[in-house]
Amino acid sequence: MECYEEGDTIHGYRIRAEARKISDPRVIAKSGRHKAQRIILTENAEAIIERKLGWVPKR
């Protein structure tokens, strides 16, 4: 498994995440009327991209 540095992000269509502690979901504004939810994973957190986005350019 690859390790990342603090501040790195992952993007995907569907991301599975596991952790010992999960914060309550909070509604955040994305763009215009569009809204999303944010949770914070703590203690042994791990996230896996199960399905990647089709339009994200490869680096």
Give residue 38's pLDDT: 92
Please provide the DSSP assignment of 5-38 as one string.
Answer: -TT-----SEEEEE-SEEPPPEEEE-STT-EEEE
pLDDT in tens, 4-59: 788 888 888 899 999 999 999 999 998 888 899 999 999 999 888 888 887 656 66
pTM above 0.85, yes or no: no
pLDDT for position 25: 92
Residue 58 is predicted with a pLDDT of: 65
Q: What is the dihedral of CA 46, 27, 57, 5, to 10 degrees?
A: -40
The pLDDT value given to residue 49: 87
